[in-house]
Amino acid sequence: MEKTVFSNHLEITDREMETALDYASSAVLANLKDFKDKFQKAYSEDGFYHPIENDYWTCGFWTGEVWLAYEYAKAHAVKNLTDGSVVPDAAEALKEAGEVQVESFLHRIDEKIEVDHHDMGFLYSPSCVAAYKLIGSKKGKEAAIKAADQLITRFHPVGEFIQAWGPMNAPENYRLIIDCLLNLPLLYWASEETGDPKYQEIAEKHIHTAVANVIREDYSTWHTFFFNMETGAPDHGATCQGYRDGSAWARGQAWGIYGMALAYRYTGREEYIEIFRHVTEYFLQHLPEDLVPYWDLEFTSGNEQPRDSSSASIAACGMLEMVKYLPKEERGYYVTIAKQLLKAVYDTCAVRDFTKSNGLVLHSTYSNHSPYNTCDHKGVDECNSWGDYFYMEALTRLTKDWEQYW
Ligand code: GLY
């Protein structure tokens, strides 16, 4: 397979990465005044996140940012964004906030607050698994194992997949979505911690079903895929957040890239490496000139459609994960691409002035309603919580030997 090369694009430099992480960590710290007991909404409005309770599928990303900033603050001075002075005990403040939020996640799973969906990994990996790995949080471990228990209740033995949304056992809900590949590391982690293989066995079955159905012949991807309730046979693909059935929703493709890297990490199945290469190639071939993806890969250079910068950061994280397992001679290629994507995000989307936005990365799109899709219209051309999180994760991956939360 010929691989796309962006010969006219610069890579983000070490200095730019340092500046970017420095700003991001300072902004996370500054945001604790509003978002310690509360969480950031999934998307900003006119550049500003508002506080919400811990009751949405995206809340784990904010806590993940707190932990990434904590990791940064342990090794670097973190500045006050108003006067540039060094904040004393920044790491301690971030750790304390992270612990407060872990308590909230434990409460959430104990009380079953908005956990009737598959996003337990998005919620509990960057918050509670991270807390356990970083500071040995017992509450983090307890909460994350309970979240894994919750997630496996959504597994359908008929069809062998984890149902994404809605009440179980209704034909209109009998589907998986590509995003779920990021929810599965929680199950592998739970098997490792408990010694009980049941979590991992379910994850493995779901990966197999997902890969067999969401990836099309040309290596573009379906956002969602339905199964027959009686027989479990694959039925049909459909979009929810993409432009139309049959197009490639940019973030879905990016979840596919990162998802295949994680699938390989946990299963060791060689065929996933080749799928990773192809799914990534499709994504790269459909990027516009400036490398900041449109919200759907159907749209290319010269379009007025909104962008989804978060897809670039997610894809970069997936490539940086996959390079750990690739032959030596291939690693440089994906690191270069990841750095080029991050350079594009840094240059054109990164927030540099806290008075203009309390987020980190502009020009992201949550759900853009079209005449051909089924999603609500929200968070279009704004900061998105996961866009901020994966930007920080990608920068962290590139600047230190990072023990991942996923
Ligand atoms: N997992 C939902 C989304 O990416 O918007």
pLDDT tens for each residue of 91-145: 999 999 999 999 999 999 999 999 999 999 999 999 999 999 999 999 999 999 9
For β-strands 234-238 and 51-52, DSSP reports them as unpaired
For residue range 228-267, what is the model confidence (pLDDT) as tens digits?
999 999 999 999 999 999 999 999 999 999 999 999 999 9
**118 C-beta closer than 6 A to ligand 1:** no
Asked if 341 contacts 315 with a C-beta cutoff of 8 angstroms, the reply is yes
Measured in Å, residue 76 CA sits from the centre of ligand 1 at: 32
Asked if 343 contacts 322 with a C-beta cutoff of 8 angstroms, the reply is no
CA-to-CA distance for 150 and 154, rounded, in angstroms?
8
DSSP 352: -
Query: 92 vs 87, 88, 134, 388, CA distance in Å?
Result: 11, 9, 13, 22
The angle at the Cα of 31, spanning 404 to 64, to the nearest 5 degrees, equals 15
Catalytic residue among 14, 34, 37, 119: 119
Q: CA nearest 78: which of 115, 24, 151, 9?
A: 24
Q: Give the pLDDT mean for 203-217.
A: 98
CA-to-CA distance for 338 and 320, rounded, in angstroms?
7
Asked if 328 contacts 1 with a C-beta cutoff of 8 angstroms, the reply is no
Q: What is the mean pLDDT of the chain?
A: 98
Q: CA nearest 269: which of 317, 224, 212?
A: 212
Distance between start and end Cα atoms, the chain: 29
CA-to-CA distance for 303 and 288, rounded, in angstroms?
9
pLDDT at 302: 92
Phi and psi torsions of 350, nearest 5° = -70, 135
Asked if 340 contacts 6 with a C-beta cutoff of 8 angstroms, the reply is yes
Catalytic site residue 235?
no
Q: Give the pLDDT mean for 373-379.
A: 97
Measured in Å, residue 36 CA sits from the centre of ligand 1 at: 24
CA-to-CA distance for 365 and 308, rounded, in angstroms?
5
Which atom of ligand 1 lies nearest, measured to the CA of 386? 4
Ligand 1 pocket: which of 181, 221, 251 to mutate (most atoms within 8 A of CB): 251
Torsional sign, CA 210, 43, 377, 348 = negative
Beta carbons within 10 angstroms of residue 28's beta carbon: 27
**179 C-beta closer than 6 A to ligand 1:** yes
**Does residue 163 surpass a pLDDT of 90?**
yes
CA-to-CA distance for 287 and 161, rounded, in angstroms?
31
pLDDT at 169: 81
Measured in Å, residue 57 CA sits from the centre of ligand 1 at: 9
Measured in Å, residue 276 CA sits from the centre of ligand 1 at: 20
- Among 1.10.1740.10, 1.25.40.10, 1.50.10.10, 3.40.50.2300, name the CATH number for the domain at 14-399: 1.50.10.10
Measured in Å, residue 327 CA sits from the centre of ligand 1 at: 31
**251 C-beta closer than 6 A to ligand 1:** yes
Catalytic site residue 290?
no
Q: For residue 301, count CB atoms less than 10 angstroms from its CB and return exposed for 0-12, middle for 13-18, buried for 19 or more.
A: exposed
Atom 1 of ligand 1, residue of closest alpha carbon: 179
For residue range 38-87, what is the model confidence (pLDDT) as tens digits?
999 999 999 999 999 999 999 999 999 999 999 999 999 999 999 999 99
Domain residue ranges in the chain: 14-399
